Amino acid sequence: NAGVTQTPKFQVLKTGQSMTLQCAQDMNHNSMYWYRQDPGMGLRLIYYSASEGTTDKGEVPNGYNVSRLNKREFSLRLESAAPSQTSVYFCASSAVDRDTQYFGPGTRLTVL
């Protein structure tokens, strides 16, 4: 099993450009998550999907949109990138509530 995979691993954007971060899991998990990690801020939840067909806002959703394409895939879109969105983005999944989260390797995004 590959676990949770993310693409791309690195990306540089100019202010105003758009892009989609891809995430897929092969563990048949119901729930999927997008986090950003910034120095001194820990992990902050952007959006999550409790199950296929549902999405909900987390702590810092502004400037982002998500799509739960199917049970395996959960994408994060930046419509108009801003320098404040420079961060490391992690996707995660879990089977049920109270259960372990499994994280992808991250996407390192720089917005100039």
Partner 1 sequence: GNSVTQMEGPVTLSEEAFLTINCTYTATGYPSLFWYVQYPGEGLQLLLKATKADDKGSNKGFEATYRKETTSFHLEKGSVQVSDSAVYFCALRSGGSYIPTFGRGTSLIVHP
Single out the residue of 19, 22, 45, 55 in contact with partner 1 (rule: CB under 8 A).
45
Q: Tell whether the torsion through CA atoms of 32, 63, 15 and 86 is positive or negative.
A: negative
Q: Which is nearer to partner 1, 14 or 98 (CB)?
A: 98
Segment contacting partner 1 by CB under 8 A, of 15-23, 34-42, 61-69, 70-78: 34-42
What is the widest separation between alpha-carbon atoms in the chain? 39
Q: Which is nearer to partner 1, 19 or 50 (CB)?
A: 50
Closest CA to 58 of 48, 70, 67: 48
Bridge-based pairing of strands 42-49 and 74-78 is unpaired
Q: Which is nearer to partner 1, 85 or 94 (CB)?
A: 94
Q: Is there a contact between 54 and 60 (Cβ–Cβ < 8 Å)?
A: no
Closest CB 100 distance from partner 1, rounded Å: 5
Dihedral pair phi/psi, residue 58, rounded to 5°: -105, -145
Single out the residue of 82, 99, 110, 112 in contact with partner 1 (rule: CB under 8 A).
99
97 binds partner 1 (CB under 8 A): yes
> What is the identity of the amino acid at 94?
S
Which residues form the interface with partner 1 (CB under 8 A)? 4, 31, 40-43, 45, 48, 50, 58, 90, 92, 97-106
